Amino acid sequence: MRFSLTTWNINSVRLRINLVAKFLKSARPDVLCLQETKCIDDAFPLKRFKRLGYEHVALNGQKGYHGVAVISKLPFETTDIRTFCDKIDSRHISVAFGEKAQLTKPLVLHNFYVPAGGDIPDPALNPKFEHKLKFLDEMKACEPLHPRGEDRHILVGDLNVAPHENDVWSHKQLLKVVSHTPIECEKLLAAQTYGEWIDVARERIPMSQKVYTWWSYRAADWTIGDRGRRLDHIWVSRALKESVTDFKITRDARSWERPSDHVPVTVTLEV
């Protein structure tokens, strides 16, 4: 069975619901994982998704900030929410697909919104950066994020770190910029390695090639110099490594009217 999944930091789902609808009508992924929905669950535009054929929704929203959602054509067996760093921030939700979705073997999906970390890349001076580093450490230590053997797990989201040199437009110029400092890159890669996750983008695209999923709003024209970063990630467990059949970054979405600063990232698997 073909299974496709998109992750997208939407930067307010209510403001950009028409862009989401445009994307879903054209790409038709089975599952959409959103980050930065920025609304409480009662304000989530559920009906619009149902009309688009996405009847199953798992929400972890909060007022004004953060917020993650899983929107699906396929039903879930279970959903779960985890907290990190003893904060109630809405930064994680997971769902499991199984028999109800006609899957013979279970598939577990984690959707993350890792703290951005503020501007100053020093945990002693900047509590937001300290929080980000601690969050990454807790992701590494989190037992449910350690798929083993035949476990079919997927981890997606805005991880707010561009870990490799060609995940940013200028490695040298971004070494002291939060999202690409050595310490956070090390911590993200440590979580990835310890959990034996496969980074789908870098499995499909050579390390020597620049890959971005985010372009700052703070540029008059985002296309000038192509100053992007790869902040949005799709990781799969080893049991799914050979199941990936396609990977796509919808770069066009950055040019849509009133866009998010992130674009959709989609994986297709044969499960």
Active site residues per annotation:
113, 158, 262
Residues contacting residue 232 through CB under 8 Å, at least 6 positions apart: 7, 8, 9, 156, 157, 158, 159, 213, 214, 262, 263, 265
Longest distance between any two alpha carbons in the chain, whole Å:
51
- Binding mask of the shown chain, residues 5 to 24, with x at each position contacting DNA by CB under 7 A: ------xx-xx---------
What is the nearest approach in angstroms of DNA to the Cβ of residue 177? 8
What is the nearest approach in angstroms of DNA to the Cβ of residue 127? 9
Residue 117 interacts with DNA (CB under 7 A): yes or no:
yes
Q: Which of 61, 65, 59, 66 is nearest to 94 (CA)?
A: 59
30 annotated as ligand-binding: no
Residue 87 interacts with DNA (CB under 7 A): yes or no:
no
What is the nearest approach in angstroms of DNA to the Cβ of residue 38? 4
Alpha carbons 258 and 217: distance in angstroms, whole number = 10
Tell me if residue 22 falls in helix, strand or coil.
Answer: helix
Residue from 56, 66, 233, 254 binding DNA (CB under 7 A)? 66
Whether the CB-CB separation of 190 and 145 falls below 8 Å is answered with no
- Residue 147 or 264: the one with the smaller Cβ distance to DNA is 264
- Number of residues in contact with DNA, rule: CB under 7 A? 24
Contact region with DNA (CB under 7 A), list: 92-100, 137-145, 146-154, 213-221? 213-221
Residue 38 interacts with DNA (CB under 7 A): yes or no:
yes
The crossing angle, in degrees rounded to 10, of helices 127-141 and 182-194 is 20
Tell me if residue 225 falls in helix, strand or coil.
Answer: helix
138 annotated as ligand-binding: no
Q: Which of 105, 106, 78 is nearest to 93 (CA)?
A: 78
- Residue 153 or 229: the one with the smaller Cβ distance to DNA is 229
- Residue 148 or 258: the one with the smaller Cβ distance to DNA is 258
Residues contacting residue 47 through CB under 8 Å, at least 6 positions apart: none
Residue 243 interacts with DNA (CB under 7 A): yes or no:
no
Strand partners, 9: 35
Residue 60 interacts with DNA (CB under 7 A): yes or no:
no
Q: Name the residues that contact DNA, by CB under 7 A.
A: 11-12, 14-15, 38-39, 63-66, 115-120, 125, 128, 160, 216-218, 220, 258
Binding residues: 9, 36, 158, 160, 261-262
Binding residues for Mg(2+): 9, 36, 158, 160, 261-262
